[in-house]
Structure 1
Amino acid sequence: MTEAMLIGLMREAAWVGLVIAAPILGVALVVGLLIGLVQALTSIQELTLTFVPKMLAIMVMFWATLGFMAQGLVGFFQNTIIGLVAGG
């Protein structure tokens, strides 16, 4: 394996990781912004008010996108990793 192949593999792995994590991170960002806005408007500074809804939203989005994430990882391994291991 050459250095260019290794860099390409790492770049593709990072891209797959970013694509897989993007829906969950996006939901966490939106929910965090909405809760922060509500806290700023109502002057309620309760820590659990930010934590619980964000965790619930992340869990719901995780379960909703679990198939998409699994497809992405399986595709990456079948198309890239297994080919490198089998083909050399």
Structure 2
Amino acid sequence: MDETLLFDMLRQALLIAVRISAPMLAVALIAGVVIGLFQALTSVQEMTLTFVPKVGLMLGVFWVTMSFMTTALSDFYLGQIIPLIAGS
């Protein structure tokens, strides 16, 4: 395995990691901004008010996008990693 192939595989793996994590990170960001705005407007400074909705929304998004994540990872593994290991 030469350096070019290794760097290409690492680049593809990082791109897949970004694509897989983007929906959950986007939901956490949006929820954090909305909850922070709500807290600033109402002067309610409860710690669980920020934590519980974010975790609930992230679990919901994870459940909805689980098939996309599994498909993306298995396609990368079967299309890139296995042929590299097999030497073809």
What TM-score do the two structures reach when normalised by structure 2?
0.97
| 1:14 corresponding residue in structure 2 | 14
Question: What letter corresponds to residue 67 of structure 1 in structure 2?
Answer: S
1:14-70 deviation digits (Å, cap 9, x = unpaired)? 000000000010100111110000001001111100000000000000000000000
Shift in Å, 1:3: 0.7
| RMSD of aligned alpha carbons | 0.8
Q: Does 1:75 align with 2:37?
A: no
**For this pair of structures, how many residues does the alignment match?**
88
Q: Please state whether the residue corresponding to 2:15 is helix, strand or coil.
A: helix
Q: Does 1:37 align with 2:37?
A: yes
Q: Does 1:66 align with 2:71?
A: no
| 2:23 corresponding residue in structure 1 | 23
* Gapped regions of structure 1 (runs ≥ 5): none
What TM-score do the two structures reach when normalised by structure 1?
0.97
Q: Which 4+ stretches in 1 moved above 6 angstroms?
A: none
Shift in Å, 1:87: 1.8
In structure 1, how many angstroms separate the alpha carbons of the residues matched to 2:12 and 2:29?
Answer: 25
* Gapped regions of structure 2 (runs ≥ 5): none
